[in-house]
Amino acid sequence: MDRADFYSSHAGRRVDAPRRSRARFAIGDIVRHRSHDFRGVVFDIDPVYANSEEWYEQIPEGQRPRRDQPFYHLLAENDESSYVAYVSQQNLLMDLASEPIDHPQIGQLFEDFQGSRYRLRRSLTH
């Protein structure tokens, strides 16, 4: 398999990844966690796990996701708060509620809500 690496500021190192990855979700998609009660909008995607070892080790061993799958950065919310989440593909489902996310940083990254997803600000695209 053709490989490449990229620098992850979260991990503080270069991360080896396949040159092609099959991300199920795209930037702007609204997703929900498979087992925890929160939903969010995707604002970045890592082709494989690219966070710190400390973060990964904090996940109970029986619940740790595989590292060789896409991981998503989310502007997330639940009934109590808004936050940024980092979630493996295996733990996400498409959110079918078709309701916007009420996160204070939405306006910094996205222009508007279009029925089931957000459109990234033009100034942030290349």
Longest dimension (CA), the chain: 43
State the Cα angle at 30 between 26 and 62, rounded to 5°: 85
- Predicted confidence (pLDDT) per residue in 22-64, tens digit: 899 999 999 999 999 999 999 999 999 999 999 999 999 999 9
Task: Convert the pLDDT of each residue in 59-80 to its tens digit.
Answer: 999 999 999 999 999 999 999 9
Task: Kindly report which listed range (41-45, 86-90, 103-107, 122-126) carries the lowest average pLDDT score.
Answer: 122-126
Q: Which CATH class is domain 3-124?
A: mainly beta
Q: Parse the chain into domains and list their residue ranges.
A: 3-124
Which pLDDT value is given to residue 9?
60
What's the whole-model pTM score?
Answer: 0.84
Could you tell me the CA-to-CA distances from 58 to 3, 65, 84 in Å, in that order? Answer: 28, 12, 17
